[in-house]
Amino acid sequence: MLKQQLSQKLSQKLSPQQIQLMKLIQLPTLAFEQKIKQELEENPALESGKEEEEDNFDDVDNSQDDEHEVIETEFDVDEYLSDDEIPSYKTYSNNYSADDDDNKVPYAAGKSFFDHLKSQIHTFRLDDEEEQIADFLIGSIDQAGYIRRDIEDIIDDLAFTQSLYVTKEKVLKVLKIVQRLDPAGVGAKDLKECLIIQLKRKKENKDVIVAKEILENAFDMFSKKHYEKLKQKFKLTDEELKAAIEQIEHLNPKPGASYSSRSKPVDQVTPDFTIRIKNDELELTLNSRNVPHMHISRDYNNMLKSYKENALKTKDQKKALLFIKQKLDSAKWFIDAIKQRQNTLISTMSCIMDIQREYFLTGDERNLKPMILKDVAEKIDMDISTVSRVANSKYVDTPYGTILIKDFFSESMKNDEGDDVSTREIKNILQSIIDKEDKQKPFTDSKLVDALKEKGYPIARRTVAKYREVLDIPVARLRKEL
């Protein structure tokens, strides 16, 4: 049975202007510049640069006229909508001031990793069928340089997608040819095969022969660093085993990554803030690219004034001027959002600078205080999500380098004196202890707990294990060296 009823409920929804502000806040400097350029192209009522005279746009009418009202006017709208007129914003080279640096690093678009492989395969004498198989195998190589699919799956795909019915022996034969391509090790099915392929390319000597035997016959022992078992199995001295392992350690476990990284452009970080020390005081500035000069078009504002003062002859003219009004509203919202963005960035970074004042004055990471998003949000009376948007995508240029703002945040732990210390400080000390350990007898997690306790940080073993994993440090057995 269908039933209609009325109900009231209270709910909160973000306005389009609030959504626009949130999106602008999370944009880093370069993306923010692109957004401004896009808005300038899409909205002719928005212009960049300083105005010659300050105009008062407070009288922009936000009310909607009666949709069915027909008004008479004597001025010609077509004069304002002429296609021959080029808006001034299109003649600007950029929207920065003359003293701003416009540093752009050009880069050449190099040959892709897969194109590099395909250009090599055509130097071999292959028949049409083998060439098809080779191209398919190259297409199956991942960015690290491996073919991680089963040969049977490749045979099935060749049949379904290429209508090519081949034997396993034929595919393996072509695979051996693919594995002869550069960089050495490409086309391997796993790490073991990748390293062996690279060793076979090396000039053969005693160390290379021993290294090859270790990989072929005791790869599991090698990967787990069971050095005593390796010495017994192959009857090696410490020096012989060490020389063989050095041969293996100089191999590339990801041959594809070494090529693809060269063809990628270098990412540039443009700091959003700058902190400098002047007379023992901190000075915070916002990157000038985050403070563009934007204003509403004088011509479009005059059109709207004429719309108020005069009547329209046709509906088409009325629609045109309603379009103008919408563009003016949109431009006003965008300018307001930019101003709010600037205020939010400055407020957030000023608060962080005050909390971490000792660090910014000294550069000593031991002076970093525990700080979470909630601490900053409460001080500046903003939502945690807003602070998070600022912290996750913005950089600050300090006397000690350019740093991601998120890196200044850390949880707190108490030392043996009961003082709150940053977990980042503890991680740095843990890293320092591991760097200085005897690599022939590396510290276990239990010994790391004792070492931290001696320095005044009573931490549980599971916490040490968690910090070690965050620092990407392997367990003691895998840190062992000869």
Domain that holds residue 154: 112-183
Is 274 inside a domain boundary?
yes
Q: Which of 133-147, 211-225, 406-420 has the lowest mean pLDDT?
A: 406-420
CA dist., res. 105 & res. 113, Å (int):
23
Residues 372, 422, single domain; the answer is no
Residue 14, by phi and psi: left (phi above 0), alpha (psi -120 to 50) or beta? beta
Provide the pLDDT for residue 79.
Answer: 43
Top mean-pLDDT range of 290-294, 420-424, 434-438 = 434-438
Q: Give phi and psi for 261, each to the nearest 5.
A: -70, -25
CA dist., res. 233 & res. 226, Å (int):
11
Q: What percent of the chain has pLDDT over 70?
A: 78
Q: What's the pTM value of the predicted model, to 2 decimals?
A: 0.54
Is 307 inside a domain boundary?
yes
> Is residue 83 over pLDDT 50?
no
Provide the pLDDT for residue 10.
Answer: 65
Provide the pLDDT for residue 423.
Answer: 74
Q: Which helix (H) or strand (E) segment is 378 a member of?
A: helix 373-380
User: 403, 309, 399, 409: which is closest to 368 by C-alpha?
Assistant: 409
Residues 167, 220, single domain; the answer is no
Residues 352, 273, single domain; the answer is yes
Laid out side by side, the sheet with 401-404 consists of 281-286, 273-278, 395-398, 401-404
pLDDT confidence band for 347 (50 / 70 / 90)? very high
Q: Cβ distance 230 to 218 under 8 Å?
A: yes
CA dist., res. 324 & res. 298, Å (int):
12
Residues 320, 375, single domain; the answer is yes
Mean pLDDT taken over the chain: 77
Is 383 inside a domain boundary?
yes
Is 405 inside a domain boundary?
yes
Is 2 inside a domain boundary?
no
Residues 298, 394, single domain; the answer is yes
CA dist., res. 68 & res. 72, Å (int):
13
User: 143, 154, 136: which is closest to 113 by C-alpha?
Assistant: 143
Is 231 inside a domain boundary?
yes
Residues 228, 326, single domain; the answer is no
Q: Which two tokens stand for residue 427?
A: 């991680």
- Segment 125-144 mean pLDDT: 87
Structurally, the chain folds into a number of domains equal to 4
Residues 427, 403, single domain; the answer is no
> Is residue 107 over pLDDT 50?
no
> Is residue 71 over pLDDT 50?
no
- Segment 462-468 mean pLDDT: 83
Residues 377, 419, single domain; the answer is no
468: domain CATH number is 1.10.10.60
pLDDT confidence band for 104 (50 / 70 / 90)? very low
Provide the pLDDT for residue 424.
Answer: 73
Residues 402, 421, single domain; the answer is no
Residues 357, 443, single domain; the answer is no
CA dist., res. 200 & res. 204, Å (int):
8
Provide the pLDDT for residue 101.
Answer: 46
- Segment 105-114 mean pLDDT: 59
The residue among 391, 409, 427 that closes a domain is 409
- Segment 156-164 mean pLDDT: 85
pLDDT confidence band for 276 (50 / 70 / 90)? very high
